[in-house]
Structure 1
Amino acid sequence: MAVETPLLNNHNGEDAEKPVSFPRKFCAESKRLWKLAGPAIFTAICQYSLGALTQTFAGLVGETELAAVSVENSVIAGLAFGVMLGMGSALETLCGQAYGAGKIRMLGIYMQRSWVILLTTACCLVPIYVFAPPILELIGETTQISEAAGQFALWMIPQLFAYALNFPIQKFLQAQRKVFVMAWISVVVLVIHAVLSWLLILKLGYGLVGAAVMLNLSWWLIVISQLLYIFITTSDGAWSGFSMLAFADLYGFVKLSLASAVMLCLEFWYLMILVVITGRLSNPLIPVDAISICMNIQGWDAMIALGFNAAISVRVSNELGAGNAPSAKFAVVVVSITSVTIGVICMAVVFATRDVFPYLFTTSTAVADLTTKLATLLGITVLLNSLQPVLSGVAVGAGWQHIVAYINIGCYYLVGLPAGILLGFKFGLGAEGIWGGMIGGICLQTIILVGITSWTNWNKEAEEAESRVKRWGGSAGEH
C-alpha cells in the first residue's frame, strides 16, 4: 500500500516544503492511535470482566448456577450484545465524521437517534429473553440447564436496555476521543461489582438472584455515570439537550444501523457457532470442553482487537470528516502494522505455552491433550483476528458496513462454515476439521478486506463523508 507523506506543518513557513520522514510520521500516528486504543482496550476488558466475574462467583455456588449464568451470558445476552453493538456502531461512522468536520452539535442528535433505534430494537429482543428455555432446548441444551438459564435471562432484561443506551453513548464519547472517561468509569464499576457480587452471591447467599441484581446494577451504573458526565459537561458543546431532531431522517439512520448490525453480528457469532457445531460430534464432551478453553483465551485476546477496532474507526472517520484523505490512509497503515505485530507476539505466546495453559482451566488430561492439539489453530486464529477486526473498524469509519456485510455472509457462512462441517464430519477430522474450515473463511475475508482497503480511493471517501454529514445534518449541522 503506497503511503502519501503530508508536508510538515511549520508556523514560521520556513520548512513548509520539507517532507516528514516515515519513522517520525509513523511514531506520531502511533502515539495518536495508542491514546485511543489503550483506554478502549482497558474499557473493553473491564466490561467483559463484569460477566466473567459473575460467572466465576456463580460457579462457586453450584454447577447448575454456573451453567445458567454461562449459557445466558454466551447465548441469550451474547445474541443481544452482538445486535446492540452492531446497531450502535453506525454512530462510529456518523459521529466520527461529524466531529472531524467540526459539526459538533450533530453528535448529540446522532446519539439520540441511535437511542430511539436501539431502544426499539431492545423491545423486539425481549421475547428472546422471555422464551429462552425452548430456544435453548432447540439448540441442544438440556432441560435442566435451559430452565435455569431461562429464569436467569428473565432477571437480566434490564441489562438489555442498558446495552441500548450504553453503546450509543460509547460511540458518542469515542468520536470525541474521550476514552479515558469511559475507562475510569469502567474500572470503578468493576471494583464495586466484584465486592458487592461476593457479598450478595456468596456471603449473604442470594445466589442467582444476587448475581442478576449485581450484573444489572453494574451495567446501569456505567450508563448513568456516563450520562451524568455528558449532561454536566455538555461534552464540549456536543450535547445541547434533547431534541425532536432525534426523530428526523430515521430511515437512512436505520439502514446504516442495520448494515452495521449485520456486519458485526456475522463476525461476533461466527466463532460462537464453532462450539455449537462441535457439540454435534458423536462424543462431544471432550471436544466441547477443549474448544471452550480455546474460545476463552480467544475472548480475552479479542478485547485487544476490539480496542484497535474502536481506535481506527475514530481515526478514519475523524480524518475523512475533516477531508484529510492521506491522513486517513496512513492511519490504516500504522494500525495494521501495529495490530499484526501484536498478533504475532500473542500467537508466539500461545505456541510457547500450548502444553501449560490448558491446565489452568481443566484437570482432565484428555481435555488438556486435545486443547494442546488445538493450540495451533488457536494461534492462527489469534493472528488473523489481530488484523481482521481492525479492517472492520476501517470499514465502520469509512461507512462501508453494507459491503462488508455481504463479504461476511459469503466468506463465513457460504465458504468457512460448510468447509468446517465437511472437514469435521464428512472427513472425520472432528473439532480440528471444523475449526480449520472456519479459519479458511476468516482468511478469505481478511484477504478481501486487505484488497479493498489497499485499492480504496481515499479522496473519494473524504468527499462521501462530507456529503453524508450534510445529508443527515439538518439544522444540527451548524457549528
Structure 2
Amino acid sequence: MEEPLLLVGSRERDLEEIRSLGQLLKYGVEEKKKLWYLAGPAIFTSIAQYSLGAITQIFAGHLTTLELDAVSTENMVIAGLAFGIMLGMGSALETLCGQAFGANQLHMLGVYMQRSWIILTVMCICLLPIYIFGTQILLFFHQDREIAELAGKFALYMIPQLFAYGLNFPIQKFLQAQSKVMTMAVVSALALLLHLLLSWLLIVQLKMGLVGAAISLNVSWWFVVVGQFIYIALGYCPGAWNGFSWSAFRSLGAFARLSIASAVMIVECWFFMILVVLAGNLENPQVAVAAISICLNVTGWEAMVFLGFNAAISVRISNELGAGRPRAAKFSILVVTISSLVLGFIFFFAILALKDVFGIPFTNSPEVVHVVTDLAVVFAFTLLFSSVQPVLTGVAVGAGWQTLVACINLACYYLVGVPVGVILSFYFDLGVNGMWSGMLTGVGLQTLVLIGITVGTNWDKEAMEAESRIKKWGGCVDEPTGKDHKIIIWFSTA
C-alpha cells in the first residue's frame, strides 16, 4: 500500500514567516521533496501514456506509407482532439478533489470522480460523430483522399479508446489529489510494456495491420483504466472511495460548467492543430508542415515533463488551500516556478546549441532541416515560456480559476496569437517563422497575464473561498455511514 509523504499540515499550522536565509533553504528543501514526490511519477505517467500513440505510429511504419499516414492523422487530429477535451474536462477534479482532500473531506472525492465519469461519458457520446464521420471531416480540410478514407476507417476502430479517455482522467485526478502518483506510474509502465508486446505480436508477427494496431492501443488504454480502478476498489484509498453512490447525480449542471471551463483552458492542443492547417496554406506547404511538425513533436515531449509539474503544483495548491494554509500555497508556487524555469533554460540553451542538427533525426530533407534551423531562436523562446505557463495553469486549476483562465487563454491564443501569425506569415512573407512567432506571442502574453494574476492574488481570501467551495459542492452529501444511499455494487476497504 502506497504511503505518501505528509503533503499538507493542520489547518492551525500554516508556514511560519521566513526570517532568515537558513529558514528559506530549509523550507525550500522540504517543499522540493514534496514537489518531486508528486512531479516525478506524474512526468513518467504522462510520458508513458503519450508514448502509447507514438509506439503505434512507429509500428505502423512497418506497414505501408499510407497506413502510417492514416494512423498518424487519426492519432494527431481525431484522437488528439478527444484527448485534449477529456484531459481538460477531467482537470476540474484537480480543484475539487484537491481542496476536499486538504480539508479532510475524503468521502467527497469518490462522489466527485463519479460525477466526472457521468459528464465525460456524455461528452464521449457527443464526440462520436468526429470518429464516425472522420473521413468526411478530413476531406473538408483538404486532406488527401486515400489518407482521409483510411484514417476515418482507423478512427472507427479507435472508439473504445475514446471512452477509456473519459474514465481515465477522472481516476487520475482522484489519485493525484491523494498523492497516489506512484500507483499511476506503475500501471502506466505495465500498460506500456503490454502495448509493446501486443503491437509486436499483432502487427509484426500476425500481420493484422491497422486492426492489430487498433486492438493493441485499445487494450492498453483500457488496461490503464481497469488497473487503476482495481487499486481503488481493493481499498487502497480508504475514506475516499466508499462505493457507487446516487449522490453522484446531484449538481451535474454546475459540475458540467466547471468541467467545460477546464477543457477550454487546454486550448494549446487546438492551437497546434490550427497551426498545422494554416501552415498547409503557406508557400511550399510540404516543407512548412514538416518543419512545424518537427517542432511540435519536440514541444510535445517537453510538454509531458511540465505536465508533471502542472499536476504537482495543482495538488499542492488545492491541498494547502483546502487545509487553510495560504502561506504554504504561496511558497509552493515560488519553489515550483524556480524549478520549472531551471529546466526551461536547459531546454532553451539545448535548442540553441543544437539548432543545426536537432531536426536531422526527424527528416532526410536538407530543405526541411534548414527551415527548422531558421526556427531555432523563436522555438527556443517558446520552450522557455512553455516551462512556466503549465505551472501557472496548474496554480489556476488548484485555486479554482478555470473560467477566468479559459477566457484569458482564448483571448491570448485566438485573438492575438493566430492573427499575429497570419499577418506575419502571409502579409510580411515571413512564412514558417511568422507562423511560429504568432505562437510565441500567444504563449508569451498568456504567461505574462497569469504571472500578474498569481502575484496579485490575495491567498488568504483564496483559502476562505476554498472552504466555501467545499461546502457548496459537498454540503448536501454527508460523510458516509452505513445508511448512505448507494447502488448495489459496494467495495469496502480491504
TM-score tier (shorter): over 0.9
- C-alpha distance in 2, partners of 1:212/1:448? 42
Aligned pairs for 1:267-286 within 5 A: 267-286=268-287
Report the TM-score, using the length of structure 2 for normalisation.
0.92
Which shifted more, 222-231 or 267-276? 267-276
Q: Structure 1 residue 272: deviation in Å?
A: 2.8
Q: 2:198 — aligned with what? A: 196
- Alpha-carbon displacement from aligned partner over 1:194-230 (angstroms, at most 9, x marks no partner): 1210111111110100000000000000000001000
Cα contact 1:298–1:378 (8 A) shared by 2: no
Residues 359/98 of structure 1: CA separation in 2 closer, same or farther (3 Å cut)? same
Is the 8 Å Cα contact of residues 60 and 71 (structure 2) preserved in structure 1?
yes
Q: For 1:219-273, what per-residue CA distance to the aligned partner results, in whole angstroms no more than 9, with x for missing partners?
A: 0000000010000025122100000000011122111111101111x12222232
* 1:183 aligns to 2:185 (yes or no): yes
**Counterpart in the other structure of 1:364:** 365
CA distance in 1 between counterparts of 2:126 and 2:18 reads 57
Report the AA paired with residue 328 of structure 2. S
1:333 Cα deviation from its structure 2 partner: 0.8
Paired AA for residue 271 in structure 2: Y
> Cα distance 1:146–1:478, how it changes in 2: closer, same or farther (>3 A)?
same
Contact persistence 1:103–1:477 (CA under 8 A): no
Between the two proteins, the alignment pairs up a number of residues equal to 466
Q: Residue in 1 aligned with 2:411?
A: 410
Q: Where do residues 335-346 of structure 1 align in structure 2 (5 Å cutoff)?
A: 335-346=336-347
CA distance in structure 2 between the partners assigned to 1:431 and 1:355 by the alignment:
17
TM-score (norm 1): 0.95
| d(CA) in 1 for partners of 2:382, 2:477 | 43
Find the aligned partners of 1:204 and 1:376 in 2 and give their Cα distance: 46
1:93 paired residue among 92, 95, 99? 95
For 1:120 and 1:437, the matched residues in 2 are separated by 35
Q: Closer, same or farther in 2 for the Cα pair 1:354/1:460, shift >3 Å? A: same
Residue 477 of structure 1: CA displacement?
Answer: 4.8
**Corresponding letter in the other structure for 1:432:** N
Give the 3 Å change call, closer, same or farther, for CA 17–221 of structure 1 in structure 2: closer
Q: 1:235 to 1:454 in 2, by over 3 A?
A: same
Over residues 124-171 of structure 1, what are the superposed CA-to-partner deviations in whole Å (9 max), with x where a residue is unaligned?
100110000111111221111110100000000000000000000000
Distance 1:274 1:227 in 2: 37
Q: Map 1:273-352; keep pairs closer than 5 Å.
A: 273-352=274-353
Equivalents in 2 of 1:73, 1:168: separation in Å? 22
Range that drifts further, 266-275 or 24-33: 266-275
SS at match of 2:359: helix
* Aligned with 2:126 (options 124, 127, 144): 124
Which of 38, 45, 52 is the equivalent residue of 1:36? 38
Equivalents in 2 of 1:123, 1:90: separation in Å?
19
SS at match of 1:240: coil
Which residue does the alignment assign to 1:464? 465
Which residue of structure 2 aligns with residue 249 of structure 1? 251
Structure 1 counterpart of 2:461, which letter?
Answer: K
SS in 2 for 1:236: coil
Q: Name the CA shift for 1:16/1:50 in 2 (closer, same or farther; >3 Å).
A: closer
1:18: how far off?
A: 8.2
Which of residues 144, 161, 167 in structure 2 aligns to 1:142?
Answer: 144
Name the counterpart of 2:153: 151
CA shift in 2, pair 1:18/1:332, >3 Å: closer
Partner AA of 2:203 in structure 1: I
Identity of aligned residues (%): 58
Aligned to 1:114: 116
- Using the alignment, how far apart are the partners of 2:122 and 2:176 within structure 1? 23
Q: Which amino acid aligns with 2:193?
A: V
Moved beyond 2 Å, runs of 4+: 15-20, 474-479
Q: Which runs of 5+ in 2 are unaligned?
A: 1-8, 11-15, 481-494
- Listed one character per residue, the Cα deviations across residues 75-101 of structure 1 (whole Å, up to 9, x for unaligned) are 000110111111111000000000000
Q: 1:16 offset after TM fit, Å?
A: 11
- Give the C-alpha shift of residue 353 in structure 1: 1.3
SS in 2 for 1:61: coil
Q: 1:242 to 1:440 in 2, by over 3 A?
A: same
**What residue is the counterpart of 2:395 in the other structure?**
394
Partner amino acid, structure 2, of 1:21: Q
* Residue 174 (structure 1) aligns with: 176
Q: Find 2:232's aligned residue among 216, 227, 230.
A: 230
Q: 2-side partners of 1:263 and 1:16: how far apart?
A: 34
Distance 2:306 2:198 in 1: 30
Aligned residue in 1 for 2:50: 48
8 A Cα contact 1:50 1:190, kept in partner: yes
Q: Is the 8 A contact 2:262 2:402 kept in 1?
A: yes
Cα deviation, residue 52, structure 1: 0.1
Counterpart secondary structure, 1:354: coil
Residue type of the alignment partner of 1:166: N
Cα displacement (A) at 1:371: 1.1
CA contact (8 A) 1:470 1:477 kept: no
Partner of 1:4: none
- Quote the residue 1:12 is aligned against: none
* Kept after mapping to 1: 8 A contact 2:379/2:436: no
